[in-house]
A and B are shown apart, each in its own frame.
Chain A
């Protein structure tokens, strides 16, 4: 039994937890839901001993363990599987699982025994991975299983999972649910951090909802609905159009309000594109498609099947080994990033922390990234115009806090993404083609709603939009046509209106080919 009471935790001026509480019974799957920045991960890091609370009380099995450290938590059987894998890619599965708890005999590693133990754990839990493989050669789903095995190997009875499905394909998600249920049925306790409501409904027994650092509700899954949870998360009624699957034939309310004037004018065209990487000869292996103005082409697929490379090649960030990219009918295959930008290409990069923002730069400076050449007076930056530009976009896109002088790092994920969206779509930017890669990754429900509305508006305004998302429901909800990428190729191209997860699933895993 786990009980967190009145947990307080601040990082500088940000109060991540303000009197948060959580009750988890033994042997249940407990979903901890909330928008990004609601304090879920902080609360779980406090439970797992990574952070110490400023105030409050942690009890595990009626023992007061407030302020414990990771080692204590693991010794007591509480382990956390992080969103970002913490594995050594060059070591094998067995080595990774036993790392830090190596089995030795006379001071030397006992590899045979380690392997037998890990294999036994694999057999017992059903977390199937090849124990002798190097982690670098595993799929993302397998790597995640290794993370879970690692935690279980250390004797965890309480397993905390932070957004575990972010990187998984639908079949892999199903497999994960199967494993979690099995662990629960054997007496394990699972706390699942997520903001995806369909997952909450599918897997959890009990739900705790957090908002702005506080616990705002505790629900029995069987006795609630996605609408009720969303309302608690956001604090008001939410249109779930963006995250709910669109019914075949009928459009969602917001997209039917904005008729998409699909035009025959060329927006973006890609011809027989091939991209080589250091590891794979053709990460993008002969892809052709076109996106008309006023159309959203969605690209579905499990991450790592060439989507990143495709987008980067179109954006001008990656060398193309064959084929061409046309922007409004003009060949830009050899054009620089800035030239493409001036020709009307906007790009929301998939990783805002890596590519989308310079985190140490101020909000105002981030709002001109990629357009800095237009904000100069001779060699110097025109601080007056930069400030005016920032004020306007911050207001239009409701970036909070609204101080343009704050470093981007200080903002929440959703607001950071708003900076990127505002920069690429807002103000005087006259774009024709938008590359939107994972536009709502790691942002809260309210921001998802906002970003989806922006994309639909841009479509209505006659922009050509290429959408890449690991979130299949997002692709289904927004796209006029959907292309499925697998192994660097487009293996299926279907009409958005008639597509469904069931229909696309087999293509995404390579089980079916067009």
Chain B
């Protein structure tokens, strides 16, 4: 069982990537370049040297947080489109706490404080749509999208009126508890943003897995996501689970803000989230809402994102945006097809896990004579 679950988490991203590479071939050819050369450049610029790899790790760290955030909400049957503002709020809260702290405290001592501040801010931003849904039935997709505008505008206002350093859009630098970069341990990483928040991301991924699949709360949360009436019948407070799941999702995204604020720049900067919250949706979908899948998908999207910069000399870097979109679309279309083909090829073990009764094929639309 466990092996199959893992396989389900890993196979789809791999297939999606292959489809994206195929589409990439066509695009690259249309720019008059050789696919082999571009892909070599892409790999060399990402996994081929320590700096590029460090950048991939840095980006994957934030995406792991936002991907887990979206995945956790999805497991409860909710679509969290608000990871973007939850991430920003978490980063902002960490920066404010950092500025208030006395200079020079050791990182290990103040790290819990930062995690708490970032998590709490994210949990508030995520919890509000959760409460609105639990109390008034407001759809979380609408409220999280709208809250993105509100929260990002509010943070922008606070930064530009109160906290910014003159002539910039960022706060002053935190002097206490900044986390070491990977380059502090391994010199080749020099210049890359990768830092020890990476470890925190892996820890949160492991904790999410344990929570979802090993605890009573996770058991109840997944039941709510799969079949709310059955969960209700089993004594689960469905609206309560909704808002708690959203708060937890917000918390995870909020902690993700530490990657930039605590690990990389040591200040909060307007717009640092830069779409990582939205890309988290893609990460969760490609990772099939499984923590292991999310980590893998985060690395995949981080590679594409960093690779776009590496190949910019050969093809426009927007090509990589197209590839990311293709990955998502192929997850939604091609991958189920691949799974079906695999199933029909007749691997009995996989078959045992397929839906029963099988989905009905859509009826052909037709007109009938009188």
Contact = CB atoms under 8 A, between A and B. Distances in A.
B32 interface: no
14 contacts: A11-B356, A12-B352, A71-B364, A75-B368, A155-B369, A337-B235, A351-B229, A354-B227, A354-B230, A360-B227, A369-B223, A369-B233, A372-B219, A380-B214
A341 B235 contact: yes
Contact of A370 (B235, B352, B366, B368): B235
Contact of B219 (A74, A359, A365, A405): A365
A354 B229 contact: yes
Counting from the closest, the 7 A-B pairs by CB-CB distance are: A338-B235, A337-B235, A12-B351, A370-B234, A369-B234, A355-B233, A101-B368
A379 B361 CA distance: 43
- Contact residues of B: prevailing secondary structure: loop
B240 to A, nearest CB: 11
Contacts of A381: 214-216, 219
B36 interface: no
Contacts of A383: 214
Interface stretch (A27-35, A166-174, A292-300, A406-414): A406-414
Contacts of B40: none
Contacts of B364: 69-71
Interface string B346-370: 0010011111111011011111111
Interface in B206-246: 210, 214-217, 219-220, 222-223, 226-227, 229-235, 237
Contacts of A375: 216
A505 interface: no
A407 B223 CA distance: 13
A315 B233 contact: yes
Given A337-B232, A379-B217, 15 more contacts: A12-B343, A12-B358, A50-B363, A69-B364, A70-B363, A117-B370, A155-B368, A317-B232, A317-B233, A337-B234, A354-B227, A361-B222, A372-B219, A372-B220, A409-B356
B368 A74 contact: yes
Given A70-B363, A379-B216, A381-B215, A11 B227 contact: no
A489 B56 CA distance: 67
A100 B365 contact: yes
Given A100-B367, A349-B233, A410 B356 contact: yes
Given A380-B215, A409-B355, A50 B360 contact: yes
A264 interface: no
A101 B227 CA distance: 36
A309 B351 CA distance: 38
Interface residues of A, number: 49
Contacts of B357: 11
B199 interface: no
Given A13-B348, A337-B235, A101 B367 contact: yes
B235 A12 contact: no
Interface in A57-95: 69-71, 74-75
Contact of A358 (B227, B343, B365): B227
A154 interface: yes
Interface residues of B, number: 40
Contact of A369 (B214, B230, B354, B355): B230
Contacts of B365: 100
A410 B352 contact: yes
A100 B368 contact: yes
Interface of B: 1, 210, 214-217, 219-220, 222-223, 226-227, 229-235, 237, 343, 348, 351-358, 360-361, 363-370
Nearest to B1: A405
A375 B216 CA distance: 8
Contacts of B367: 100-101
A347 interface: yes
A238 B366 CA distance: 47
Given A338-B235, A358-B226, A361-B226, A380 B351 contact: no
A379 B215 contact: yes
A356 interface: yes
B233 A337 contact: yes
A176 interface: no
B182 to A, nearest CB: 33
Contacts of B234: 337, 369-370, 372
A336 interface: yes
A155 B369 CA distance: 9
Given A70-B363, A358-B223, A13 B351 contact: yes
A373 interface: yes
A406 B354 CA distance: 10
Interface string A496-514: 0000000000000000000
A227 to B, nearest CB: 31
Contacts of A428: none
A74 B365 CA distance: 12
A52 to B, nearest CB: 9
A514 B215 CA distance: 53
A100 B366 contact: yes
Contacts of A359: 226-227
Nearest to B353: A407
Contacts of B233: 315, 317, 337, 347, 349, 355-356, 369-370
B216 A380 contact: yes
A475 B226 CA distance: 33
A257 interface: no
Nearest to B218: A381
A248 interface: no
Interface in A298-356: 315, 317, 336-338, 341, 347, 349, 351, 354-356
Contacts of A225: none
A326 B6 CA distance: 48
A376 B216 CA distance: 7
A14 interface: yes
A357 interface: yes
Contacts of B235: 336-338, 341, 370, 373
A292 B82 CA distance: 54
Contacts of A336: 235, 237
B305 to A, nearest CB: 33
A426 to B, nearest CB: 16
Interface string A365-389: 1000110110110011101000000
Contacts of B229: 351, 354-355
A451 B214 CA distance: 33
A317 B222 CA distance: 19
Given A12-B343, A100-B368, A406 B352 contact: yes
Nearest to B224: A358
Contacts of B361: 50
Contacts of A117: 370
B137 to A, nearest CB: 12
A336 B238 CA distance: 12
Nearest to A155: B368
A358 B231 contact: yes
Contacts of A360: 226-227
A349 B232 CA distance: 12
Contacts of A11: 354, 356-358
A359 B357 CA distance: 11
A14 B216 contact: no
Contacts of A379: 215-217
A157 B103 CA distance: 88
B355 A358 contact: no
Contacts of B351: 12-13
B142 to A, nearest CB: 22
A204 B131 CA distance: 57
Nearest to A74: B368
Nearest to B360: A50
B242 to A, nearest CB: 17
A360 B215 CA distance: 17
B60 to A, nearest CB: 29
Chain B CB within 10 A, most for which of A74, A349, A360, A375:
A360
